[in-house]
Amino acid sequence: MNFDYPIAFSAVKLIAMMARFGAFLTAVPFFSTATIPARYKILFILAISVLLMPSVPDDWMTAASFRNLDLFSLSFMVLSEIVLGLTIALFILIFIEIVRFGGFIMDRDMGFIMASVFDPGSDTDSTPFSHLLVESFLILFLIFDGHHEIIRLAAYSFQTIPPGGFVLTPEIGETIIDLSSRIFLVGMQIAFPVFAAMFILSIAMGITARIGEDFPVLELSFAVRFALGFSVVIGSLPVIISISRQMNTEMLEWVAGLAGF
């Protein structure tokens, strides 16, 4: 079945735009939350696609992917847009996991590894400080208009990437592997103040236990770990916020690179 009429071409253009916008917006942490009903997401994507249809380049209608367009070509086009969105989502999730890993190391050293906080948005459990750092990272994402930047990049991508023109390349795979390796490096940098303080405290507690055998080291260690760790976290908040801000900027730069900006 071929599409030979202008109305059909406009419908195909709208489908391609909705697939791309849906892929981009699904990658945004707050938009992908399970607390937003699916019908609201679809209506939002449809509204943005309709509003931006006049801004789509005219050569979209003359692109090679629109010539002799059949059902298979249309399916491949939509699949390409979905892969673009999933790749962007993977980039964003890697940066979120960096912060989550840093918080996990903090909780492990402070003795909160068995505690859990339920996130209704993602339907997952996490440790307290891990959840706190992720939420702070997402709040900074909103404060610095990261969600608006994602929408702007999605709109700009229509100027740089033709319909169905996105394909995974070895360079993108290498970039994903490189970013994944930073989960441990940057995560440890975030947790390093707490990690160093708990390490020094463990040595001090060990020496105290050897010197004063009647001293209740075990009973006091939990309270001391929490008090010291919490104090170190408060003191290192400016550094954590600075690292989170830098990662937000870098995350948007990677998304811009995928969009051909």
Confidence of residue 159 (pLDDT cuts 50, 70, 90): confident
Q: Looking at per-residue confidence, does 63 or 43 come out higher?
A: 43
Does 1 score more than 60 pLDDT?
no
Confidence of residue 129 (pLDDT cuts 50, 70, 90): confident
Helices (H), 27-125: 38-52, 71-110
Determine the Cα–Cα distance for residues 29 and 92; give it in Å rounded to an integer: 8
Domain ranges across the chain: 6-258
Give Cα separations from 24 to 39, 145, 148, 188, 230 (angstroms): 17, 15, 12, 30, 37
Interval 188-199 mean pLDDT: 88
Confidence of residue 224 (pLDDT cuts 50, 70, 90): confident
Confidence of residue 82 (pLDDT cuts 50, 70, 90): confident
Determine the Cα–Cα distance for residues 28 and 247; give it in Å rounded to an integer: 15
Does 4 score more than 60 pLDDT?
no
pLDDT for residue 120: 65
pLDDT for residue 203: 85
Confidence of residue 22 (pLDDT cuts 50, 70, 90): confident
Q: Angle between the 128-143 and 146-160 helix axes, to the nearest 10 degrees? A: 60
Does 5 score more than 50 pLDDT?
no
Token pair for residue 148?
A: 């608006």
Does 249 score more than 60 pLDDT?
yes
| Residue range 91-122, pLDDT digits in tens | 888 888 888 888 888 888 887 777 777 766 66
pLDDT for residue 25: 74
The most confident of the ranges 2-6, 27-31, 119-123, 223-227 is 223-227
Determine the Cα–Cα distance for residues 188 and 101; give it in Å rounded to an integer: 8
Q: Looking at per-residue confidence, does 32 or 170 come out higher?
A: 170
pLDDT for residue 58: 65
pLDDT for residue 3: 45
Minimal CA–CA distance to 31: which of 142, 153, 183?
Answer: 142
Token pair for residue 177?
A: 């592997």
Q: What are phi and psi of 212, to 5 degrees?
A: -110, 95
